[in-house]
């Protein structure tokens, strides 16, 4: 079974995370498949807009912690440099509109991927959570930049340290998402927005995204590298290992 479903219709490329048994948590296979799909999307003139979605009950639960636990002792900095860092840069540098259609849970690295998209819509009932501090880690996948920019430093700090979920409606009020729709209408709403985007001035959209990247995200690559540096330190702390074990035990017993 493919961990990433790809569907191109009328210029709209829909990429669907397909690990529903893991709430679409990212593993290496899913990250690499998404990187390759975005590389193809950048090169294909037939692709005019990209939509990211999740299959099953969630958009994405972040990094698959069992994969991280199995790789204990390896460098998390190297992991980020090969996975999320280039993925986030791909999303920002893809000179085509990228829309995230979010439902269920959106946490950790999945939140970073969503925030790196150009636009976001959410189904009512979606629960966002920053997630990283809950397992003794620091925000990565660009979250340390995107979240304070979108929410302000105080609210971003509060949500990160408290590690409490916030709703789709709060995300709309704070500007994280641009629209909230009933869950059963999420796919149709995403396609309607994508259709509007592919009918727009593609070159102007691409240059606008380039301008926004220069104005707002000029140091993104440096920040991603620093996140990886800090994550390497955090991952060596015994508190991180303890919290991951507690998280996995709670999930097993749920």
pLDDT at 241: 76
pLDDT per residue rounded down to tens, the chain (254 residues): 899 999 999 999 999 999 999 999 999 999 999 999 999 999 999 999 999 999 999 999 999 988 876 666 678 899 999 999 999 999 999 999 999 999 999 999 999 999 999 999 999 999 999 999 998 999 999 999 999 999 999 999 999 999 999 999 999 999 999 999 999 999 999 999 999 999 999 999 999 999 999 999 999 999 999 999 999 999 888 887 788 777 777 766 66
Decide: pTM greater than 0.75. yes
pLDDT tens for 111-140 read 999 999 999 999 999 999 999 999 899 999
Query: pLDDT tens digit string along 235-245?
Result: 888 887 788 77
Q: How far apart are CA 140 and CA 150, in angstroms?
A: 16
pLDDT of 237 reads 84
Q: What is the pLDDT of residue 51?
A: 98
Residue 137's nearest CA partner among 218, 57, 233 is: 233
Q: What pLDDT does residue 251 have?
A: 66
Question: What's residue 26's pLDDT?
Answer: 97
Q: What CATH number is given for 4-202+219-253 in this structure?
A: 3.90.226.10
Burial class (CB in 10 A: 0-12, 13-18, 19+), 249: exposed
SS (H, E, C) the chain: CCCEEEEEECCEEEEEECCHHHCCCECHHHHHHHHHHHHHHHHCCCCCEEEEEECCCCCECCECHHHHHHCCCCCHHHHHHHCHHHHHHHHHHCCCCEEEEECCEEECHHHHHHHHCCEEEEECCCEEECCHHHHCCCCCCCHHHHHHHHHCHHHHHHHHHHCCCEEHHHHHHHCCCCEEECHHHHHHHHHHHHHHHHCCCHHHHHHHHHHHHHHHCCCHHHHHHHHHHHHHHHHCCHHHHHHHHHHHHHHHHC
Angle 155-158-159 (CA atoms, 0-180°, nearest 5)?
85
């Amino acid at each position: 079974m493919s961990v990433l479903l790809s569907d191109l219709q009328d210029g709209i490329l829909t990429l669907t995370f397909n690990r529903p048994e893991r709430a679409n948590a990212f593993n290496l296979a899913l990250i690499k498949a998404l990187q390759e799909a975005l590389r193809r999307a950048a090169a294909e003139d037939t692709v005019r807009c990209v939509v990211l979605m999740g299959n099953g009950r969630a958009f994405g639960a972040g990094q698959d912690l069992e994969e991280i636990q199995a790789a204990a002792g390896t460098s998390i900095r190297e992991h980020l440099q090969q996975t999320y860092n280039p993925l986030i840069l791909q999303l920002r540098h893809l000179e085509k509109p990228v829309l995230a259609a979010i439902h269920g849970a959106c946490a950790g690295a999945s939140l970073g991927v969503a925030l790196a998209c150009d636009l976001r819509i959410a189904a009512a009932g979606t629960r966002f959570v920053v997630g990283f501090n809950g397992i003794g880690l620091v925000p990565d996948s660009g979250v340390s930049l995107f979240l304070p920019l979108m929410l302000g430093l105080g609210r971003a700090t509060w949500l990160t340290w408290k590690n409490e979920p916030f709703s789709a409606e709060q995300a709309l009020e704070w500007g994280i998402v641009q629209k909230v729709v009933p869950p059963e209408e999420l796919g149709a709403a995403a396609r309607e927005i994508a259709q509007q985007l592919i009918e727009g001035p593609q070159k102007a959209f691409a240059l606008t995204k380039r301008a926004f990247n220069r104005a707002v995200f000029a140091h993104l690559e440096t920040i991603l590298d620093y996140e990886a540096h800090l994550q390497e330190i955090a991952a060596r702390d015994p508190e991180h290992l303890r919290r991951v074990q507690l998280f996995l035990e709670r999930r097993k017993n749920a």
